[in-house]
Amino acid sequence: MRCEANRNRDAGMATAELVACLPVLILLLAFALSVESIGATRTRVQDAAREAARAAARGDLDTAHLLAAEAAPGSTVSITSTADEVMAVVHIHVHLLARWLPSVTITERAVAAAEPTVPP
C-alpha cells in the first residue's frame, strides 16, 4: 500500500520534467535544422560560383549569370577578370528556420583560368 502511494505521487514528475524540457528540445531541433540548411545552401552557392567562373572563363557572361541563378536561386553574382583568370563571387541571404533569428549571408568564390581567345 505504501509503495502505491509513492508511485502515485511520482507519476506527475515525468510529465512536469517533460514540459520543462520540451521548449529546450524544440529550440535544439530548430538549431540543428538551421545548421543543416545553411550547409546545404553553402554547397549550392559553391556550385553556383564554380559554374559562373567556368562560363565566364569561356567569355560567356550571360550564361554565367544564368547558371549561377539556376544553381542558387535568389543569389547575386559578381564577376571580375584579369588577363589570366576569372573570379566569380556569389552572395545569398538565408533566413533560418525560426524567422525571429537573424538572416545569414553566405558568400563563396571560385576562380577559373581564362581561356585564350582565337583572333578572327
CA pair distance 49, 86, nearest whole angstrom: 11
* HEC letters along 69-81: HHHCCCCEEEEEE
pLDDT (0 to 100) of residue 3:
55
Predicted structure pTM score? 0.75
- Read off the DSSP letter of residue 55: H
- Read off the DSSP letter of residue 91: E
CA pair distance 3, 8, nearest whole angstrom: 9
pLDDT in tens, 62-90: 999 999 999 999 999 999 998 899 999 99
